[in-house]
């Protein structure tokens, strides 16, 4: 029996203060990741601060600069099916709908999605060492079954990947995360929000203890004409990505004027390489161009015993998804080919 205290927050500052003032306190939103981790005996919060009763963070609003603000407490489902998201940021809708299941997407919130933990099997087994769970204890995945693990940006301490689909699209769209803490608010560009494991794999992102994610801002440019999200996995649904790709293109005729490509399932954070996107600009949108970009994106990739296949898989996924982005109207909503 784990005893804990429950507090229902009625204001942003109150919620943030409650967690800041208690080293073993955590926020709970949809609970779809937190409660699992708790049941697996991986978390032991002494105070749980329920943020579900903050209506100001449960809405989607248009911004004066032409962008869109997604409240942190809006569910993944309500975000994916919101008319403005569907029409202006269909890449984001598609990525969200590629994740989890309908039931989970109804509970899961946008803020919680950014903070979900890795799905590394060893991380979820409290009986084995894991540097992310217990710093300095070791990483059994290095010489173990590492099929789902990182091929880019890993360290000698941890080779876990970040499992979110939504965040791959948010990286490509260059979203900004709004947070509120004891020192007020700050805006964090999406590329800076998650971090690589380095020698402190226990830290997934740059949030301070007690900082509350209040919303996520999407810039005006939504790439609604040419986009695609491709998720390759072992099962057709209810499975995390082995490799996923979010591609957003701006075309003039068949020439690429702007391009974004973000990869999921390959690193400790959504993976973007600006040089790879620059390779595409001014080129004809064809397989040759996407193949050249894929080579740059996968520069430095390292395969381990069971995951080396992901390097070629990622390259082919980039090319295939680039070609799919030229004809987004031919993609069925939510349809995803299996790996």
> Which stretches of the chain bind ligand FAD, using CB under 6 A?
26-34, 36, 51, 72, 76, 99-100, 104, 107-109, 111-113, 115-116, 163-166, 212-213, 240
- Please tell me whether residue 123 binds ligand SF4 under the rule CB under 6 A: yes
Give me the least distance between CB of 122 and ligand SF4, in Å please: 3
Using CB under 6 A as the binding rule, the residues of this chain from 176 to 215 that contact ligand SF4 are 201
CB closer to ligand FAD, 67 vs 99: 99
- Which ranges in the chain belong to alpha helices (H)? 12-20, 34-39, 76-80, 83-88, 90-97, 102-107, 110-115, 166-173, 190-193, 274-280, 287-297, 309-325
At 47, give phi and psi (nearest 5°).
Answer: -135, 130
Q: CB–CB of 167/140 below 8 Å?
A: no
Q: What is the DSSP letter of 121?
A: T
29 binds, among ligand FAD, ligand SF4, none (CB under 5 to 8 A by kind): ligand FAD
Residue 290 CB contacts under 8 Å (≥ 6 apart), including other chains: 280, 318, 319, 322, 323
Give me the least distance between CB of 113 and ligand SF4, in Å please: 19
At residue 207's C-alpha, the angle toward residues 201 and 208, to 5°, is 100
Which of these ranges, 67-75, 117-125, 292-300, 328-336, lies near ligand SF4 under the rule CB under 6 A? 117-125
With CB under 6 A as the contact rule, the residue among 96, 152, 158, 207 that binds ligand SF4 is: 158
- Please tell me whether residue 37 binds ligand SF4 under the rule CB under 6 A: no
Residue number with the smallest Cβ distance to ligand FAD: 112
User: Within 13 Å, how many C-alpha atoms sit on residue 38's CB side?
Assistant: 19
Question: Using CA of residue 255, residue 286, residue 166, residue 13, what is the dihedral sign?
Answer: negative
92 binds, among ligand SF4, ligand FAD, none (CB under 5 to 8 A by kind): none
Give me the least distance between CB of 31 and ligand FAD, in Å please: 4
- Please tell me whether residue 80 binds ligand SF4 under the rule CB under 6 A: no
- Please tell me whether residue 141 binds ligand SF4 under the rule CB under 6 A: yes
CB closer to ligand SF4, 147 vs 283: 147
Residue 335 CB contacts under 8 Å (≥ 6 apart), including other chains: none
- Please tell me whether residue 227 binds ligand SF4 under the rule CB under 6 A: no
Q: CB–CB of 241/271 below 8 Å?
A: no
Q: H or E stretch including 119?
A: none
DSSP 5-30: EEEE--SHHHHHHHHHT-TTEEEESS
Give me the least distance between CB of 159 and ligand SF4, in Å please: 4
Give me the least distance between CB of 207 and ligand SF4, in Å please: 19
Terminal Cα distance for the chain, rounded: 41
With CB under 6 A as the contact rule, the residue among 98, 159, 168, 304 that binds ligand SF4 is: 159
CB closer to ligand SF4, 73 vs 304: 304
With CB under 6 A as the contact rule, the residue among 16, 116, 131, 336 that binds ligand SF4 is: 131
- Please tell me whether residue 240 binds ligand SF4 under the rule CB under 6 A: no
CB closer to ligand SF4, 135 vs 219: 135
- Report the C-alpha gap between 260 and 273 in whole angstroms: 9
- Report the C-alpha gap between 176 and 149 in whole angstroms: 27
What is the contact surface with ligand SF4 in residues (CB under 6 A)? 118, 120, 122-123, 130-132, 139-141, 158-160, 201
């Amino acid at each position: 029996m784990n005893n804990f205290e429950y507090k229902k927050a009625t204001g942003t500052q109150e919620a943030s203060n409650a967690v800041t003032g208690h080293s073993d306190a955590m926020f709970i939103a949809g609970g779809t990741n937190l409660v699992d981790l708790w049941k697996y005996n991986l978390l032991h919060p002494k105070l749980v601060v329920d943020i579900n009763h903050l209506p100001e963070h449960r809405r989607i609003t248009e911004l004066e600069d032409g962008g869109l603000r997604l409240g942190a407490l809006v569910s993944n489902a309500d975000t994916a099916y919101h008319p403005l998201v569907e029409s202006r940021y269909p890449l984001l809708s598609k990525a969200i709908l590629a994740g989890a299941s309908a039931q989970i997407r109804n509970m899961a919130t946008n803020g919680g999605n950014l903070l979900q933990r890795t799905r590394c099997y060893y991380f979820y087994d409290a009986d084995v060492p894991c540097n992310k769970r217990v710093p300095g204890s070791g990483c059994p995945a290095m010489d173990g079954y590492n099929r789902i693990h990182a091929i880019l940006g890993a360290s000698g301490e941890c080779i876990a990947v970040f499992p979110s689909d939504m965040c791959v699209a948010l990286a490509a769209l260059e979203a900004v995360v709004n947070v509120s803490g004891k020192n007020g608010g700050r805006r964090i560009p999406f590329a800076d929000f998650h971090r690589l494991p380095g020698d402190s794999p226990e830290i997934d992102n740059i949030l301070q203890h007690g900082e509350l994610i209040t919303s996520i801002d999407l810039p005006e440019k939504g790439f609604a004409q040419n986009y695609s999200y491709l998720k390759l996995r072992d099962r057709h649904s209810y499975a995390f990505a082995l490799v996923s790709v979010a591609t957003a293109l701006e075309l003039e005729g068949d020439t690429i004027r702007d391009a974004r490509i973000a990869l999921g399932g390959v690193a400790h954070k959504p993976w973007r390489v600006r040089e790879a996107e620059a390779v595409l600009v001014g080129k004809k949108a064809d397989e040759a161009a996407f193949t050249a970009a894929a080579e740059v994106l996968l520069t430095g990739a390292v395969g381990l015993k069971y995951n080396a296949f992901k390097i070629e898989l990622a390259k082919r996924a980039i090319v295939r998804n680039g070609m799919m982005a030229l004809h987004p109207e031919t993609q069925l909503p939510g349809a995803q080919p299996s790996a």
